Amino acid sequence: MKVLTFGELLLRLSAPGFEKLFQSDNLKTTFCGGEANVAVSLANLGVESCFVTKLPNSDIGHCAAHSLDYFNVDTSNIVYGNGRMGLYYLEKGASQRPSKIIYDRKHSSFSMARKSDFNWDNLFEDVDWFHWTGITPALSNNVLQLIIEACVKAKEKGIIISCDLNYRKKLWSPENAQKVMKQLLKYVDVCIGNEEDAQFALGINSNSNVEKAEIDISSYESIARKIEIEYCCKYVAFTLRESYSASRNGWSGILYHQGKTYISKKYDIQLVDRVGGGDSFSAGLIYGLINHCGDQESIEIATAASCLKQTIEGDFNRSSIEDVMQLVKGNGNGRVQR
Amino acid sequence: MKVLTFGELLLRLSAPGFEKLFQSDNLKTTFCGGEANVAVSLANLGVESCFVTKLPNSDIGHCAAHSLDYFNVDTSNIVYGNGRMGLYYLEKGASQRPSKIIYDRKHSSFSMARKSDFNWDNLFEDVDWFHWTGITPALSNNVLQLIIEACVKAKEKGIIISCDLNYRKKLWSPENAQKVMKQLLKYVDVCIGNEEDAQFALGINSNSNVEKAEIDISSYESIARKIEIEYCCKYVAFTLRESYSASRNGWSGILYHQGKTYISKKYDIQLVDRVGGGDSFSAGLIYGLINHCGDQESIEIATAASCLKQTIEGDFNRSSIEDVMQLVKGNGNGRVQR
Amino acid sequence: MKVLTFGELLLRLSAPGFEKLFQSDNLKTTFCGGEANVAVSLANLGVESCFVTKLPNSDIGHCAAHSLDYFNVDTSNIVYGNGRMGLYYLEKGASQRPSKIIYDRKHSSFSMARKSDFNWDNLFEDVDWFHWTGITPALSNNVLQLIIEACVKAKEKGIIISCDLNYRKKLWSPENAQKVMKQLLKYVDVCIGNEEDAQFALGINSNSNVEKAEIDISSYESIARKIEIEYCCKYVAFTLRESYSASRNGWSGILYHQGKTYISKKYDIQLVDRVGGGDSFSAGLIYGLINHCGDQESIEIATAASCLKQTIEGDFNRSSIEDVMQLVKGNGNGRVQR
Amino acid sequence: MKVLTFGELLLRLSAPGFEKLFQSDNLKTTFCGGEANVAVSLANLGVESCFVTKLPNSDIGHCAAHSLDYFNVDTSNIVYGNGRMGLYYLEKGASQRPSKIIYDRKHSSFSMARKSDFNWDNLFEDVDWFHWTGITPALSNNVLQLIIEACVKAKEKGIIISCDLNYRKKLWSPENAQKVMKQLLKYVDVCIGNEEDAQFALGINSNSNVEKAEIDISSYESIARKIEIEYCCKYVAFTLRESYSASRNGWSGILYHQGKTYISKKYDIQLVDRVGGGDSFSAGLIYGLINHCGDQESIEIATAASCLKQTIEGDFNRSSIEDVMQLVKGNGNGRVQR
Amino acid sequence: MKVLTFGELLLRLSAPGFEKLFQSDNLKTTFCGGEANVAVSLANLGVESCFVTKLPNSDIGHCAAHSLDYFNVDTSNIVYGNGRMGLYYLEKGASQRPSKIIYDRKHSSFSMARKSDFNWDNLFEDVDWFHWTGITPALSNNVLQLIIEACVKAKEKGIIISCDLNYRKKLWSPENAQKVMKQLLKYVDVCIGNEEDAQFALGINSNSNVEKAEIDISSYESIARKIEIEYCCKYVAFTLRESYSASRNGWSGILYHQGKTYISKKYDIQLVDRVGGGDSFSAGLIYGLINHCGDQESIEIATAASCLKQTIEGDFNRSSIEDVMQLVKGNGNGRVQR
Amino acid sequence: MKVLTFGELLLRLSAPGFEKLFQSDNLKTTFCGGEANVAVSLANLGVESCFVTKLPNSDIGHCAAHSLDYFNVDTSNIVYGNGRMGLYYLEKGASQRPSKIIYDRKHSSFSMARKSDFNWDNLFEDVDWFHWTGITPALSNNVLQLIIEACVKAKEKGIIISCDLNYRKKLWSPENAQKVMKQLLKYVDVCIGNEEDAQFALGINSNSNVEKAEIDISSYESIARKIEIEYCCKYVAFTLRESYSASRNGWSGILYHQGKTYISKKYDIQLVDRVGGGDSFSAGLIYGLINHCGDQESIEIATAASCLKQTIEGDFNRSSIEDVMQLVKGNGNGRVQR
């Protein structure tokens, strides 16, 4: 089974430790991006993955691709051309101080990519699963057209399509998001998101109060059902984050399939780096479904994988499937193995 | 409205991370000091501030001043001359291991400053508020004379005077402190401190047990009332720190004004750097009072500002008023903004 | 009173902060090893200590010895010769992600040491206490013979012998461990361990569930009694670790002596570096017994010392006896001293 | 005397030490830019300076301005608005490996600035000298219009205008550069450049071979004369860099004034960071001319200042006028002062 | 054209900057090894390369392989199994202080590899060129047998074989080396080395004095002729290092082919990291010969590539063929490209 | 043979790399001081050494002593008491930019030490050689009295006395220095210095021009003869530094003994850290004389040892006698040993 993900690869520039941006004179670098994160996670779990994007034809673009080669993600279909490297600045929060993200991704090579850059017939050869996120269509109309074309083509070829709704308010308004996502979700077999995503990207409200960290399972269940009915998604999964502070979160997952709801264990996480948590959830879920692990086991894997990610620096989940299964089966008490 | 603060600017040398002093071969540097911290906090909150001190006339002294210029604090009235740069060594504690501070501030340029170094008539021109702390008169008799002169002159000019009691047992004994502070407090309009300060600097006891992290609001109220009556202070404010460990503290504030007590929200802080917490509380309170935010809002601002400071590396509060108001109005759950 | 410890000195290579191994391009280095850690802890507590081992005769071996000289451990009896420097890689865990240790200590100078390398008559001159751990006999048959010879000779000379069972499943099987340790424990006056150690190294089972972080004092008491009876140990002590996560542990100690059980305060530790916790427990206990502090005080010192160690980076406990007594007598609330 | 400089403030992201870009996972940061560098240099030499630009209205833009506040450059006229922070990536060369610069400055706030953003009548109040470089008009047509307006207005007010030709082939072609620069140079009193600049920005050729590091003074003299005649510049100055390798350069300067040529001492520089050398040359020259130091002394100051800059990390020249005069009068033998 | 290289992959632990080993508490890490370095260099020059070895089946072994995946070296034929990761400690010299290397590579997975680990028929499928170095047969008899088998098989298949003599006196004596290398050189088409190699690995003496940094071209020519005659090598190439100090070396290359000698330009290198210089020379030469660049151009490419390597941190040559050709055609004056 | 050195131990705070002070937010730390440097150098050369001083009784003072324990210097006679830790700030120069040193050593524990702190009869037991430098009597009158007492007592006991003149213009004027040093030199057997020292500390002029890096051997010879005659010194040795720049120095040594002059090889040093060069010269010379290496060999050892020191970070010479002899006998070409 081979998974192809398509999206933007970004340079992340983050203040070291818990410093404010430019408090000292250096920034930590990682390359990242929702779909690339999923491809890396999958490769580390042992699933063959391929990442497609467009990058600037410069040392930066090539280093960006190498950062995926490192994990054996197939980058041979990446296109190089004009435009800049999209990037974002990250200031990691602590305790009551929230993390801050400043995007600087406009005019990137990817956002200006054109139809002629990608031959989907070739790209989808031997591919079994296609994953994208709601960030991609938010970037530009160019990219929106590409994602539509990809979805149509994938559907034709019987490729399974998963989508992480991933609503970003700094990229588009709820109105614009809904106009696009409602149309695109028709192609999607596996829909992944959080409560906010459902509300902003699909206009489906619930009674839970995200800010207050209260979680109401039945509310999620009803949202999932609406998505299943309206868009014919086979699976709907949510990450449930309870934000006690910027340093500590509750984390669990929920999977809805054929009228049944499967709820994972809940982890109380002392956060190392929460960015990329959702992406490794997607990867864990895809792993579970591809490997026919069963619905309960799949949501456990997704949740454990994404729990581990949040204890690891950077956007990429460097956990192996052995690491994940140890947490799924164990108790997360963190005893040293020696 | 322009605030002038007067005190010593120090070089802080701290072991990196949670290391013991000299465990590895480098020390992190910041310039700091109670009154300078208040000036920086105010500038970051948008209040015009001016810092007055005496520094060694060397590259070190000038770099020290530049560290305040960075934040647009007015340093044009700083005097340069003989003497050394005062400094202190900091070893940050963790969990059950307390932080350690070793002062090396004797013989500093500031502690040897003389009357002729400062022309208070000129310095106080256009100034509306004068802030100092109990550290300054503890440094030397020279500086004590300067602070007396400054208070007298400020009073003459109708400038509001605030004082953070800031008792430091490594600088003077309770007896010496009380002899001086009781005399100086007569000039003060806004008195800021914690319970220990009241006891050691003013000889006012309470029943609370600081070491045990138990807080008794009524005890603070009675102390505040005594200060109001004895010294005619218009406002009395306390920070209430509940020390669970060197890594985690409870934090709230209390403001007493015209017989009424205003208590802030309480924050459970995962500490990044607690030094300078009290100073940003003073700055937040001054901001609130200057901007007529009302008594409840003022103590909320003071407490939120100083909560944020403790999630930031270094003595300086790098939070803007927007950051502070977001916490005052929000819930401190640390959700990423993106 | 002079304490001699005998064992392997290792190079520890650990990923910086909470990074995965080789996530970035450097590793932090410390020299360490169970018995060396005890020697350093003792020196820092003010007890004269001497460490005996065999090291490669290279810059690395000599730097390793210097790292103990720094703390005034007597290294003049270290032997230099062929073989490599034993080392281990450490990846520090966080939250639900456990720490990982990869040993690379085979073929080390120490594990290949021979009888002729050590003249125990000379080495034990002026020595009052001999400490070793269960790691040493697990390393090689050569070293096992050395430890037997040392125990016999120490016993002859009336030197007190303490042993930390320290079972390591990556070094030997429970069967092999029991075969050796049951024989060696007959020489031991003070037996130190944790519940797992008793089970794997001595074959004494209990009902507690280590993985579940539940602690049953009576179970420990019964194990201690068995050890006292079977091996004639005068003192049996256990560390009680409750692993909530890789970031937070409960920590306490228990001492069994002449039919009585002494239980220490329990600390809720926000871990900085848990490796070496047991070793500083041994050192604290030896300190207490050597200085006739009484059984309750001794277990309190052992537990407080090892609590502090876990708030300090590296294997070595850099706490002084003043630091330890401050925690024994105080409350661990971590207030800054200034 | 007050100097105003106008241009773009950039974020520079450079690989640490002599690493290749993204060889390790962090980048060193400095804010910089030709005109900002001149303003900082002047402030450090003791000349009142003011920097005008447009920056993004974000934490990044404000930190950028603060980096100039640190040196007491007047930033109160900086405009904040839409657009991104321009930046460039720097990979420092060594020996035979050249430095690489990758610009990412398109779509910056400054390059999209509009006429209405700057009121030159107000900005030029109290200003005696206006400095800009050839980078600015190369950025966008918007900015070109601004620089024309500024030159016209400065000329009206009798303000001295200096220009560093600063030709950058990654920003525009020689044809476009000449079209613009020939027109703008008519306003310029003091023209600064290097041989390449004259050729590419003004179309004035010479016989020297820049690549071969051969310098022919008479050729520079003839170029200077042409510039004086054609554009009525009062002073023409050139930096003469002899590139032996990326690690070692010869460095001297030449000033042409009223038919006479003044040549500075030549320094053989072991480079620490050559970027910003030309900017500190401009600042040194402006210092000399403003302070009536005489033509020979002025070119010596300019050359010594810029020599020192190249021994300092970052684009900013942190040298004081005392540092510069010590080199002008001394011999650059680098003896320790103690 | 596809090149396969076979040898050991090592972990290099080097003291930061110019520090002595363990002077501070961290070591920089890179994975490296003669044959792996060649594979990486080739990949960066655009040649398809494949690296074969045996690694420990642990996180360390997998990270080691990933470090080659990063550069798109084909690592799919690497075998994982028992044994340790070979490593070496590096202390970089400066000026009169020589670099020090301490090997710790005994008992590595590779040195204990067995015949059954590698199926040369499969491995050599589609391979056009096989490269190995004299380090490999020096490691163990196991590996010696493997290299013999590989040479025989490669010869059968008409694959070109190149060998870098790479004599290491810490691995074997001249006697042992000659016994092995004289036998193996019969299979080699392209023989690469330096003067010392010829002497120690092949017993061919010359009159030059390596220690004195005097180079006598005719002596190299006569050595090359002897190798050509005795072993039927088609090409013989030497690197000529003139060691002025640990910080500065002269560097050139010489190629002997069909009775003619081709000498490259000589570079005066300010060293950043000289380790791996010879390996990138091999890679450059292979590139030149594979691409039919001609003998003079090939030796220029080899020398320029290896010159650039020595200005780059780490064993790997991160230069592209564009970087190399720019130096071949340019003059190495290190001008910034902007 | 045992050498005792007596002087101040300082904390050195240096800007990282070639940065200006406070350019970034950390300082590298080392403990150092002329006499301590000599003690460490001697210990590393294999000579038993003992260092005597007074330090503050704090964690800082104890860490300072530990930094010498690391090298097996005997610190058991160090006295602890009141006063601060003396320190100095170092900004390392590069190329034409000189290093800067800012002393902050007044009021140190050592400078306020009293007669009663040191019992010279006890201290000198078993001591064969006493070394001090001209920095010590410059610190305070207290310390001057101590050095007089020590010299008198050492002379009585027949201990050889060596003195490095070490004139520091930031500590005293030539007049004061000469008044003291002329008196003290009568006790000295081995006088070490540089030309400046002779001039400023002893009032003996020469014709050489230190600033111009010209060295006139006959001038040094005549100075040495004057010192021999006037003060009855048995050996007079000078370091000869030719300062080409802050990055590159010529370095040699000269020894005058019984009318004969012995000149060492000259090294062209690419400096890593020149501070402490003179101290390791003293140590090398003492080593040579103690071990009866002969006059020529002794000056070669002194010069080679101090050459190596200048290629090592920090004040301490970490070279072994093997390292030194390799340079004495070799050629300093810096070839890697592998």
Report the run of H or E that residue A295 belongs to, with start and end: helix A295-309
Residue C262's DSSP bridge partners are C255
Count how many pairs of residues, chain A against chain F, have C-beta atoms within 8 Å.
Answer: 4
Q: Give dist(CA A13, CA A31) in Å, integer.
A: 9
Q: Is D24 on the interface with C (CB under 8 A)?
A: yes
CA E133, E138, E143 angle in degrees (round to 5)? Answer: 85
Q: Give dist(CA D136, CA D151) in Å, integer.
A: 13
pLDDT at A67: 98
Q: How confident is the model at residue D216 (pLDDT cuts 50, 70, 90)?
A: confident
Count how many pairs of residues, chain E against chain F, have C-beta atoms within 8 Å.
Answer: 89
Most E CBs within 10 Å: which of A30, A69, A78, A322, as the mutation test of the E interface? A69
Q: Scanning every residue of chain B, which has its alpha carbon at the shortest distance from the alpha carbon of E26?
A: B24
Which residues of chain B make contact with F22, given a CB cutoff of 8 A? 29, 59-60, 63, 67
Q: Scanning every residue of chain B, which has its alpha carbon at the shortest distance from the alpha carbon of A241?
A: B335
For the ranges C136-140, C207-211, D81-85, E100-104, the lowest mean pLDDT is seen at: C207-211
Q: Is B173 on the interface with E (CB under 8 A)?
A: no
Q: Is C301 on the interface with B (CB under 8 A)?
A: no
Q: Is E22 on the interface with B (CB under 8 A)?
A: no
Q: What is the mean pLDDT of residues F195-211?
A: 80
Q: Which residues contact F227 (CB under 8 A, 6 or more apart)?
A: F185, F191, F198, F202, F204, F233, F236
The yes-or-no verdict on residue A215 having pLDDT over 70 is: no
Contact F19, B29 (CB under 8 A): no
How far F268 CA sits from the closest chain C CA (Å)?
Answer: 27
Q: Is E58 on the interface with A (CB under 8 A)?
A: no
Average pLDDT, chain E: 95
Q: Is B16 on the interface with C (CB under 8 A)?
A: no
The yes-or-no verdict on residue A335 having pLDDT over 90 is: no
How far B92 CA sits from the closest chain A CA (Å)?
Answer: 15
Q: What is the pLDDT of residues D283-336, one digit of tens each?
A: 999 999 999 999 999 999 999 999 999 999 999 999 999 999 999 998 778 777
C23 to A269: CB separation less than 8 angstroms, yes or no: no
Q: Is D25 on the interface with C (CB under 8 A)?
A: yes
How far D232 CA sits from the closest chain B CA (Å)?
Answer: 40
Q: Is F327 on the interface with E (CB under 8 A)?
A: yes
Q: What is the pLDDT of residues A302-312, one digit of tens each?
A: 999 999 999 99
Q: Give dist(CA D303, CA D297) in Å, integer.
A: 10
Question: CA of A80: how far to CAs of A5, A57, A116, B56, in Å?
Answer: 17, 5, 12, 56
Beta-strand relationship, B267-270 and B248-257:
antiparallel
ipTM metric? 0.94
pLDDT at B217: 87
Q: What is the mean pLDDT of residues C319-333?
A: 92
Q: Is C29 on the interface with E (CB under 8 A)?
A: yes
**% residues pLDDT > 90 (chain D):** 92
Average pLDDT, chain A: 95
Q: Is B24 on the interface with E (CB under 8 A)?
A: yes
pLDDT tens per residue across all 338 residues of chain B: 999 999 999 999 999 999 999 999 999 999 999 999 999 999 999 999 999 999 999 999 999 999 999 999 999 999 999 999 999 999 999 999 999 999 999 999 999 999 999 999 999 999 999 999 999 999 999 999 999 999 999 999 999 999 999 999 999 999 999 999 999 999 999 999 997 899 999 999 876 555 555 568 888 999 999 999 999 999 999 999 999 999 999 999 999 999 999 999 999 999 999 999 999 999 999 999 999 999 999 999 999 999 999 999 999 999 999 999 999 998 778 777 76
Contact C40, C316 (CB under 8 A): yes
Report the neighbours of A using a cutoff of 3 or more CB pairs below 8 angstroms: B, C, D, E, F
CA C69, C75, C76 angle in degrees (round to 5)? Answer: 125
How far B74 CA sits from the closest chain F CA (Å)?
Answer: 20
D337 to F95: CB separation less than 8 angstroms, yes or no: no
Which residues of chain E make contact with F337, given a CB cutoff of 8 A? 98-101
**% residues pLDDT > 70 (chain D):** 97
Q: Give dist(CA B314, CA E115) in Å, integer.
A: 60
pLDDT at E133: 98
Q: What is the pLDDT of residues C38-48, one digit of tens each?
A: 999 999 999 99
pLDDT at F211: 54
* Residue E240: count of CB within 10 angstroms of its CB: 21
How far B23 CA sits from the closest chain E CA (Å)?
Answer: 9
CA F284, F290, F296 angle in degrees (round to 5)? Answer: 60
Q: What is the pLDDT of residues B278-325, one digit of tens each?
A: 999 999 999 999 999 999 999 999 999 999 999 999 999 999 999 999
Q: Give dist(CA E75, CA E68) in Å, integer.
A: 7
Q: Scanning every residue of chain D, which has its alpha carbon at the shortest distance from the alpha carbon of F135?
A: D338
Report the run of H or E that residue D155 belongs to, with start and end: helix D141-156
The yes-or-no verdict on residue F209 having pLDDT over 60 is: no
Report the neighbours of B using a cutoff of 3 or more CB pairs below 8 angstroms: A, C, D, E, F
Burial of F334 (0-12, 13-18, 19+ CB in 10 A): buried
Residue B30's DSSP bridge partners are B12
pLDDT at B238: 97
pLDDT at F152: 98
Q: Is B22 on the interface with E (CB under 8 A)?
A: no
The yes-or-no verdict on residue F214 having pLDDT over 80 is: no
Q: Is A329 on the interface with C (CB under 8 A)?
A: no
Q: Kindly report the pTM of this predicted structure.
A: 0.96
> DSSP states of F142-201 as a string?
HHHHHHHHHHHHHHHTT-EEEEE----TTT--HHHHHHHHHHHGGG-SEEEE-HHHHHHH
Window 229-288 of D: residues touching F by CB (8 A cutoff) are 267-272
How far C304 CA sits from the closest chain B CA (Å)?
Answer: 9
Identity of the residue numbered E83: G
pLDDT at D217: 87
Q: How confident is the model at residue A332 (pLDDT cuts 50, 70, 90)?
A: confident
Report the run of H or E that residue F219 belongs to, with start and end: helix F217-231
Q: Which residues contact A229 (CB under 8 A, 6 or more apart)?
A: none
How far B30 CA sits from the closest chain A CA (Å)?
Answer: 11
Q: How confident is the model at residue A98 (pLDDT cuts 50, 70, 90)?
A: very high
Q: List the structure tokens of B295.
A: 């008594």
Beta-strand relationship, B26-32 and B10-14:
antiparallel
pLDDT at E100: 95
Q: What is the pLDDT of residues C237-270, one digit of tens each?
A: 999 999 999 999 999 999 999 999 999 999 999 9
Q: What is the pLDDT of residues F300-322, one digit of tens each?
A: 999 999 999 999 999 999 999 99
**% residues pLDDT > 70 (chain A):** 97
Domains of chain A: 2-328 (3.40.1190.20)
Beta-strand relationship, A54-56 and A79-81:
parallel
pLDDT at C253: 97
Q: Is F313 on the interface with E (CB under 8 A)?
A: yes
Question: CA of F18: how far to CAs of A28, A260, E96, F99, in Å?
Answer: 22, 65, 21, 9
pLDDT at F37: 98
The yes-or-no verdict on residue F120 having pLDDT over 70 is: yes
Q: Is D22 on the interface with A (CB under 8 A)?
A: yes
Burial of C292 (0-12, 13-18, 19+ CB in 10 A): exposed
Q: Which position has the token pair 């459970």?
A: B268
Contact F294, F322 (CB under 8 A): no
Q: How confident is the model at residue C208 (pLDDT cuts 50, 70, 90)?
A: low
Q: What is the pLDDT of residues C265-296, one digit of tens each?
A: 999 999 999 999 999 999 999 999 999 999 99
Nearest to B59 among F28, F63, F102 (CB): F102
F70 to C72: CB separation less than 8 angstroms, yes or no: no
